[in-house]
Amino acid sequence: MIDHFGINCADWETSKAFYDKVLGVLGYTRQMDFQVAVGYGVEGKPDFWIADMSSGDAAGPNREVHIAFQAAGVEAVQAFYDAALDAGAESLHAPRLWPEYHPGYYGAFVRDPDGNNVEAVFHGA
């Protein structure tokens, strides 16, 4: 069900040092580093992300959370996106390939009623 999730961090340098240390002892390491977001996991698959939200409105007490749900295929990603918009969600990114994440990464992103970034992803497109 859950593919990956992420949190936003107000103190970016402290958060990176903290998660490097505490996840490291559990066997998890940085799998991707985009300078403003770091993904931790194993074997090239980041399952937990932290993002730098040290400036702007997102640094307030109700910073958004990112959660990605596994989808069975590109049709399921499209169905998720269509259902979310029909339910009143804000579109963040329409369904498409995201080759910057990895080949075959197909996802769609919406903002839920509470302001969270919710994604459906299929890894085999």
30-40 per-position pLDDT tens digit? 999 999 999 99
Q: Please choose, from the candidates 114, 107, 102, 22, the residue with its C-alpha nearest in 3D space to the C-alpha of residue 69.
A: 107
The fold for domain 1-54 equals 2,3-Dihydroxybiphenyl 1,2-Dioxygenase; domain 1 (3.10.180)
Q: What is the value of pTM for the model shown?
A: 0.82
Please give the C-alpha separations between residue 87 and each of 65, 69, 82, 84, 107, in angstroms, as whole numbers. 19, 17, 9, 5, 18
CATH entry, 64-125, from 3.10.180.10, 2.40.40.20, 3.90.1150.10, 2.40.50.140: 3.10.180.10
**Domain spans of the chain?**
1-54, 64-125
**pLDDT tens for each residue of 60-83:** 556 789 999 999 999 999 999 999
**pLDDT tens for each residue of 93-104:** 999 999 999 999
Query: Considering Cα of 88, then 107, then 117, then 35, what sign does the dihedral take?
Result: negative
